[in-house]
Amino acid sequence: MFKNCGFVELLSWTFSFRESFPYHDVGTIKNLKRKALVDSISEVLAGIGAFTVFGFEKVAREEGYEGPMYNVTAVNATDGLYASFQSTRCMATCVGWSVDELEPPKTTEELRGRFEVSSR
C-alpha cells in the first residue's frame, strides 16, 4: 500500500524530503499508474502460474507419477508424539498439509480438488 498508492512520496513531502506535493505532480502520478499496472499484471500472472503448477501436478499424480521420495521425521514438542515416514514431494495438491499433523500427505485418491484448493 505504501509503495503503490504514493504514501512514501506523501511522507517524504510531509517531512520536507520532497518539495512538491506528490498528488499534484504529473510525473509522480504517471509513475504511480505504472506501478499499479505492473503490480496488477504480476498478481494475475502469479495466479495463473499457481493454477498451472497445480493442474500439471494433479494430472501427473493421477497418472501414477509420484516423483522423488523423501524422508520426513516430525516430533510434536507439546505432546511428545513422534512420526517418521516416506512421502512424495508435493507442491500444490497437498495445500493445507502440515508436518505437524504427524501423518503423510493424502494419497492420490484423496488429493484436494481444484475447487477446494482455489477456495483456500
pLDDT digits 0-9 by tens, 32-51: 899 889 998 999 999 899 88
pTM over 0.85: no
Q: What is the mean pLDDT of residues 111-115?
A: 61
Give the pLDDT score at 62. Answer: 77
- Sequence-separated (6 or more) residues with CB below 8 Å from residue 92: 50, 53, 54, 57, 58, 117
∠88-93-99 over CA atoms, to 5°? Answer: 55
pLDDT, position 45: 96
Locate the DSSP E strands across the chain. Answer: 69-75, 82-88
Q: Is the pLDDT of residue 19 over 70?
A: yes
